[in-house]
Amino acid sequence: MPGRHVDPLIAADAELAELVEHLRRVGRFAFDTEFVSEDTFEPVLCLVQVATRDRMVAVDPLARGLDLDPLWEVVLDPGVEVVMHASGEDLRICRLRTGRLPDRVFDTQVAAGLAGYGYPMSLVNLVGQTVGVSLAGSETRTDWRRRPLSDAQVEYALDDVAHLLDVADHLRDRLERRGRVEWAEHEFSDFIESVRRRVEEDRWRRLPGAGTLGRRSLEVARRLYEWRVEEARASNRPIRQVMRDDLMVGLARRQPRNKRDLEALRDFNRPALIARSREILDVIAEALAVPEDRLPEPGERVDDLPGMSMLTSLLNATMAHCAARHQISTGLVGSTGDLKELVRWHLDGQPGDRTPEILKGWRAEVCGRALLDVLSGRLALRIDDLGSEVPVALEPVAPHPPDESDSPSPSPSNPPDGSP
């Protein structure tokens, strides 16, 4: 990597302190992590890669006695810009390690979607399309926990940050030329906030099939979910290794009262679960004893509305048309869930205290108003260019002139011309 100094793997506090001083001095750096999450409750941080215009460095979090706190502090420093790609998992690790999230993140995946590239786009594709560099992928199956790491493994890891600053500069230039820097800054802030919400929200409500459960079953699911989290934390295992999502929802729906009922459920007959039968039955019994007025309320099920599937298809076509016209990736503009939220809000009389996200900020400018006009009957979709990727166009709905059947009947005292 010509023109840039590549440091040896940092494994001592003194070396890390010197790096942190350099990062604060330059005020901007690329950041990435390598972690393993398959076998533990929380991901194991195995490597941290940073790059500035002058240096590229890999830091070894598994080095004995190394204190990473100074590095996390510079990541969190609002005076320093941190450039990342697809930053969700890296931000989650930062939150796990520090309890906080950074304020200044430039996410190249998000910026690419606003700058006219695809979303979500892989780093390999984005680097190739923006700066014309082909990245290798030979170490994708590396177990980053094993030591020592080879030079090839470290070089592969550093590829993830080697070109990020150039990519970010390219994207920022495109955003400036299109007048979208402010859009990107709002999107970065919203993305960070979404990571914070995912940590704090009631995750049990996102269990597959939870939307079909009644209030009592929801309480069972909630308590089983909490039991599963505590069991996974205590045994340092991924939560789905303790109990699968579908089995948990099945238990919530069936609400077994004894061991025989419990073991009659499909997929429960596993030694690890059978050994905890008594605990699981106690959790279910506690949920069944909760007074009716303290049970959780079911979430809204917009899918139950007649014609929802057809309506969201129509709105998806509208959104795709608007995104293509503005050269923004549809995947960044909104999802089917956002469109369902818009439909529910529209049907509920458009309450001002819960305006849908797709009607806020830059999304309102790109497609929000058009979506609302389609819902309200002011705009219609028509087939346009069948050879186009988005073969539809929008046009105003013209009022129909009244036909003869709508005309008032002539009055006897005022007969039409030619009457006797």
User: Does a structural domain hold residue 404?
Assistant: no
pLDDT digits (tens, 9 = 90+) for 266-308: 778 888 888 999 999 999 999 999 999 999 988 655 556 778 8
More confident residue, 317 or 417: 317
pLDDT recorded at residue 303: 57
Cβ contact 333:367 at 8 Å? yes
- CA-CA distance, 366 to 70, in Å (whole number)? 41
> Is there a domain that residue 403 lies in?
no
pLDDT band at 414 (very low <50, low <70, confident <90, very high): very low
Q: Are residues 57 and 180 in the same domain?
A: yes
- Are 218 and 74 members of one domain? no
- Of 141, 176, 200, the position where a domain reaches its end is 200
Q: How many domains does the chain have?
A: 3
Whether residues 61 and 17 share a domain: the answer is yes
In a domain, 414, yes or no: no
In this structure, which amino acid lies at residue 92?
Answer: R
Q: Tell me, yes or no, whether 13 and 147 share the same domain.
A: yes
- Smallest CA-to-CA distance from 152 within 133, 139, 134, 135 is with 139
Note the pLDDT of residue 412: 44
- Domain co-membership, 210 together with 328: no
pLDDT in tens, 344-367: 899 889 998 889 999 999 999 999
**For residue 219, pLDDT beyond 90:** yes
Same domain, 250 and 125: no
* Same domain, yes or no: 254 and 380: no
Instruction: Judge if 326 and 341 occupy the same domain.
Output: yes
CATH number reported for the structural domain that contains residue 73 in this entry: 3.30.420.10
Nearest to 226 by CA among 279, 169, 267: 279
C-alpha closest to that of 332 among 11, 17, 113: 113
The domain boundary, picked from 160, 185, 200, lies at 200
Task: Give the domain extent around 172.
Answer: 5-200
Same domain as 184, residue 118: yes
Residue 256, domain CATH = 1.10.150.80
Alpha-carbon gap, residue 113 to 110, rounded angstroms: 5
Q: In what order do the strands lie in the sheet with 81-84?
A: 5-6, 55-59, 44-51, 28-36, 81-84, 105-107
Residue 316 lies inside a defined structural domain of this protein? yes
Beta strand 379-383 with 392-396 is antiparallel
